[in-house]
Amino acid sequence: AQSVSQHNHHVILSEAASLELGCNYSYGGTVNLFWYVQYPGQHLQLLLKYFSGDPLVKGIKGFEAEFIKSKFSFNLRKPSVQWSDTAEYFCAVNPIRQAGTALIFGKGTTLSVSS
Amino acid sequence: DTEVTQTPKHLVMGMTNKKSLKCEQHMGHRAMYWYKQKAKKPPELMFVYSYEKLSINESVPSRFSPECPNSSLLNLHLHALQPEDSALYLCASSQGGGRGYGYTFGSGTRLTVV
């Protein structure tokens, strides 16, 4: 069965520190890849997505992610975090098949940024 | 219109009640999804409708009953729920399952079962 692994359960950083959240998936075929963020009490927001082309994708709020096909990875990065980045971060994978293939989510990483 | 609209935003229901959650999109997407999300947990897939037909049911208890009346609407009928069913229920839609198709999520219905 396909799965998505997020290595870090809880990350604690100070403001201005750099961030990297790991995500690996297990699916041998073609995939669409996503990172979502969920601020406390709010709904899911799309940070960025990768479909094809340049493996380094840029998203909103200064986030970027790199797709490394050989490592089945899609890690999220931000050079300098802010207190407002405190949130839950979910990596998600969509195996390319027929219509109606659902997103598979990782367990999430809680990011806490102290000012 | 690039949104998925879910109503109601909040719902409190008793264990003997019958209620329905509604989801609507006008983007022409042909796949629609119901997810359940508990606090600090990832969304868990419940149902997938593809071209208005139920294509995936992730072993969800029968007290949850999905319905897709047309390509723009998705309902989730609730009956005899348990307190542990309290969660955020998310609806999503996508154009398809191929390369380049993203997902649009609604803001969810926060359900409390008392």
Give CA–CA dist B8/A13, Å, rounded: 37
Beta-sheet pairing, B10-13 with A109-114: unpaired
Task: Work out the angle at residue A105's Cα, subtended by the Cα atoms of residues B40 and B7, and round it to the nearest 5 degrees.
Answer: 70
Contact list in A for residue B43 (CB cut-off 8 A) is: 44, 90, 103, 105
By C-alpha distance, the chain B residue nearest A37 is B42
Structure tokens at B12: 């409190």
Cα-trace Rg, chain B: 13
Residue-wise pLDDT for B67-106, tens only, equals 999 999 999 999 999 999 999 999 999 886 556 678 889 9
Short-list B83, B89, B76, CA closest to B18? B76
- Report whether A94 contacts A104 (CB < 8 A): yes
The stretch A6-23 carries a mean pLDDT of 96
Is it the case that residue B58 has pLDDT exceeding 90?
A: no
Residue-wise pLDDT for B1-50, tens only, equals 669 999 999 999 999 999 999 999 999 998 999 999 998 899 999 999 98
Contact list in B for residue A106 (CB cut-off 8 A) is: 42
The stretch A27-36 carries a mean pLDDT of 88
Dihedral (CA of A47, A92, A45, B69) sign: positive
The stretch A51-69 carries a mean pLDDT of 95
Tell me the nearest-neighbour CA distance from B49 into chain A, angstroms. 7
Q: A115 burial class (0-12, 13-18, 19+ CB within 10 angstroms)?
A: exposed
